[in-house]
Structures are given as C-alpha cells and as structure tokens.
Amino acid sequence: MAHCAQLGFQDASSPLMEELLHFHDHALMIVFLISVLVLYIITCMITTKLSDKYILDSQEIEIIWTVLPAITLILIALPSLRILYLMDEVNNPHLTIKALGHQWYWSYEYTDYEDLGFDSYMVPTQDLSFGQSRLLEVDHRMVVPVESPIRVLVSAEDVLHSWAVPTLGIKMDAVPGRLNQTAFIAARPGVFYGQCSEICGANHSFMPIVVEAVPLNHFETWTSLMLEEV
C-alpha cells in the first residue's frame, strides 16, 4: 500500500508488476541520458564562441541525429510491446472471478463455485477498527490463493468503472454490456488495495478494492465457510 510522501511505485506483488517496474527503470534511464546529452549540447552552444563549417553543414551529422533517435525508439518500443502481450495472456487460470461494478460498490462472483458471491462495500470511517485504512477497507475482501493464475472478468451494471490494483499491475475498465478480462498471479501472501479508477459519479472515491492473497489451504477453508453461510 502506498504511504505518505512516497515518490516511487508500490512494491510489486505479481510477476507482471515486476516487469512493468523494470520497463519503467529502463525507459527512465534512456530519458535521463537524452536529457543530459541535450543539456550538454545547449551549454556548449551558449558558452563557446567558436564555430566550425563542418558542424554547421555536415551530411554525416544529419545521418547520425536521424538514426540515433530511431534506435532509441526501438529500444523503448520492443520491451513495451513484449509487456503489452504479456498483459493480454490468460493461460489456464486456476480460478475465475467476476467483478461487477455498481454505484458505488463492487460485487464478486466465484464462477467455479456454485452460489459463491458477495457484495463488497467500503467500511465507513466511524466503523473502522484500529489499524484499518480510511476509504480503503471493505466489509468483504476478494480472497485468492497465492502463486495461482487468477482470471478476473470485469463488467459494470450502470456506468463506467475501472477495477485497478496498482501493486498487482492491474487496471481494467468495467463497461456496461461488455465483459473484459485480465489475469494476475499474487506472488506472495498479503492484502493489496486499489480503487475505482474511472470517475463514476458522486461517490466515485468510496468504492475501494481489497484483494487478499492467502495460501491454498487457507483459501479452501475460506470457501468452505462462505458456502456454509450461503
């Protein structure tokens, strides 16, 4: 979960988010090197009074400053395309969950189980327990097993929403009448927070998302308890 004055990303909790962080560092280093080079050239042009006719009119230099940006764009585009294809991959999920956006709460259906579903509302500030986060805690968390491919089917009942959990590297629009899908693998046990990332009305900021990743045996115990309640 993000904390006050945090400048960087949250720690990655899925392999996909780790790839995104690596690509961010890769692209940032390229931008930094370009910025230093441009600043150096500008400084030299301002401070020196000398000129050279071979620099003012040179076919070789024009070729260099045309080819180098093209190579730079390729170095950024190829890793980016690789991650884009990885984000669309959904291979043999162990569990499928349908997340349905409403004004202003989420409902979850575990489609691999019969009659296993629930609504997830934000816990009001006055009902929070000690240590719980304001505007981020919910009454029913989406529980998933760790190190298992999870497919999430995302849709909405009324208006546009967006199901986003930054630490898992997930952000998928919830569109009424359309079923979008995404997938993730929780690399470690923990509680991961997100929020609706599409302005959806007056209470847009009050429909958080909480994903709890637990070991498989704990997940099976949780599903048994939930089915008994139903």
DSSP letter for each residue of 110-165: ETTSTT-EEEE-BPPGGGPPTTPPTTT-BSS-EEEETTSEEEEEEEESSS-EEEEE
Amino acid of residue 198: E
pLDDT in tens, 111-144: 999 889 999 999 999 988 888 889 999 999 999 9
In the block, which residue shows the tokens 């030299």? 44
Give 55's pLDDT tier (boundaries 50, 70, 90).
low
Residue type, 115: D
pLDDT at 132: 86
- Does position 182 have pLDDT exceeding 90, yes or no? yes
Mean pLDDT of the chain: 90
| Cβ atoms of 204 and 197 closer than 8 Å | no
pLDDT band for position 223 (cuts 50, 70, 90):
very high
Domains of the chain, with CATH numbers? 13-47+56-86 (1.10.287.90), 93-227 (2.60.40.420)
Chain segment 24-53, per-residue pLDDT in tens? 999 999 999 999 999 998 998 888 877 766
Question: Distance between CA 159 and CA 126 in Å, rounded?
Answer: 28
Residue 16 pLDDT more than 80? yes
> What pLDDT, on the 0 to 100 scale, is given for residue 114?
85
Of 98, 102, 144, which Cα lies nearest the Cα of 121? Answer: 102
Complete DSSP assignment for 55-78: HHS-HHHHHHHHHHHHHHHHHHHH
